[in-house]
Structure 1
Amino acid sequence: MNEIRERLATAALAHVPFDGWSETTFRAACADAGVPESLARVHCPRGAVDLALTAHAMGDAELRRRLASADLSGMRFRERVAFAVMQRLDAAGDREVVRRATALFALPHLAADGARAIWQTADTIWTALGDTSDDLNWYSKRAILAGVYASTVLYWLGDDTPDLSATRDFLDRRIAGVMAFEATKARLRDNPLTRPLMTLQARIAAGIKAPRTGDAA
């Protein structure tokens, strides 16, 4: 990760709750980090947008560190996923910073950047949990988890319950819904009426390969 961008993103965090991910915040971050604005523009040509994306990537990096040191052996897999999502929310820090980023990436011309950032978070979680899929499942797992994570973030932004209990319950319900969907797929594979269609789908999926290492982002 770019060291100057990290310094600027870290400096920006104190200003975002008041000025959003804006030009004002970008200039304040330059001053606080002691980085000349001309140099900052070289590393962050889109200004505060690049800082918001860097801050998100820093949260993913923190999540990787946390999951690498956590003992997950006593958890069921769905509990590991829930644990990882809650750890990512905790790593995000100030909810107002996330709220401002959510508003920023809701803008139509930045929606693809926001979707890519959420995808990278989902990829971080699956990779840390040891996902070894190399076909269509690689994509579907990340797409499903990205949807779960994005909806949980929106719920978390408005949660004022002690210990985020409402967010945890919401996340558990979302994961339970995914598990029920997977169970339905398994039943379809075993049903003589739908087995041919599911077999065809499996053959198509087998021909789709996950990105090579380093291409996922």
Structure 2
Amino acid sequence: MDNPQDPQDRILDAALAHVPFDGWSEQTLKRAASDADIPLPEARALFPRGAVDLALAFHRRGDERMLRRVRQESMADLSYSDKVARAIWLRLDSVDKEAARRATTLFALPNHAADGMRALWGTADAIWSALGDKSNDGNWYSKRATLTGVYGSVVLFWLGDASLDHADTKAFIARRISDVMRFERMKSSVSANPVGRVVMAGPNFLMSRLRAPIRPPRGFPGTTGTRP
């Protein structure tokens, strides 16, 4: 239990015992509220959209745990790509796999797909923030968009991985990060070429004019608590 005094955490912890059988569902919310000894009206107030808000709380918890674990690890000797790969693995390793599988199924539904994409973007943002990303222009968006795609593919691979200690997933993460790094090197080589500089002048100018969104202070009402 992350915070035994927080009713949301109590309900979420209780829900994890029911998710393998009932998924992220209304039934799970009802049983979790009962197990946590929290009146159902209060539980509905904490999770207004029911199961989907409960699943999103589970997703945010994984982000928060990953942030804490990254801060506790010494990564000074790792290359930047290895740091990203390690953070991705720590994110996966911070949650129950079956609960994540059920959440993925829920967010695959058309009416919850937008919530699922926002959750993936939030994870990508949390990883870059944990690694100290200071970008404040178009790179802020491109980094998170790229990592959102990488992380989404990694999750799907991980859910089907039965290898010892998830060795296949770790190798898959390394391959995906390597693919991204090759693409970044290609962009750099294009920009270094005189013709490439002319071709990329417009897009690069537009990217330089973009600015990262202003983040509210930590603890500001309505924030998720994942901001470092």
The alignment's TM-score, normalised by the length of structure 1, stands at 0.95
2:52 is aligned to 49
Contact kept in structure 2, 1:134 and 1:209, CA below 8 Å: yes
Shift of 1:188: 0.8
1:20 is aligned to 23
Pairwise CA RMSD: 1.6
Runs of 4+ aligned residues of structure 1 deviating over 3 Å after TM superposition are none
- What per-residue deviation string (whole Å, max 9, x for no partner) do you get for residues 166-185 of structure 1? 10111111111100100110
2:166 is aligned to 164
Q: Give the partner amino acid of 2:69.
A: R
Shift of 1:45: 1.2
1:100 is aligned to 102
Shift of 1:191: 1.6
Contact kept in structure 2, 1:15 and 1:25, CA below 8 Å: yes
1:193 is aligned to 195
Q: Give the partner amino acid of 1:154.
A: L
1:90 is aligned to 93
Answer yes or no: is 1:173 the counterpart of 2:166. no
The alignment's TM-score, normalised by the length of structure 2, stands at 0.91
Shift of 1:4: 2.3
Shift of 1:214: 2.6
- What per-residue deviation string (whole Å, max 9, x for no partner) do you get for residues 92-150 of structure 1? 12x11111100000011101111111111111110110100001100110111111111
1: distance between equivalents of 2:113 and 2:39? 29
Shift of 1:3: 2.9
2: distance between equivalents of 1:112 and 1:200? 31
2: distance between equivalents of 1:191 and 1:13? 54
Shift of 1:5: 2.1
Answer yes or no: is 1:73 the counterpart of 2:87. no
Correspondence for 2:66 among 63, 68, 79:
63
1:208 is aligned to 210
1: distance between equivalents of 2:199 and 2:46? 50
Q: Give the partner amino acid of 2:30.
A: R
Shift of 1:9: 1.3
* Matched residues, number: 216
Correspondence for 2:111 among 109, 112, 115:
109
Task: Name structure 2 gaps, 5 residues minimum.
Answer: 218-222
Task: Name structure 1 gaps, 5 residues minimum.
Answer: none
Shift of 1:197: 2.1
Answer yes or no: is 1:10 the counterpart of 2:7. no
Shift of 1:65: 0.7
2: distance between equivalents of 1:97 and 1:58? 12
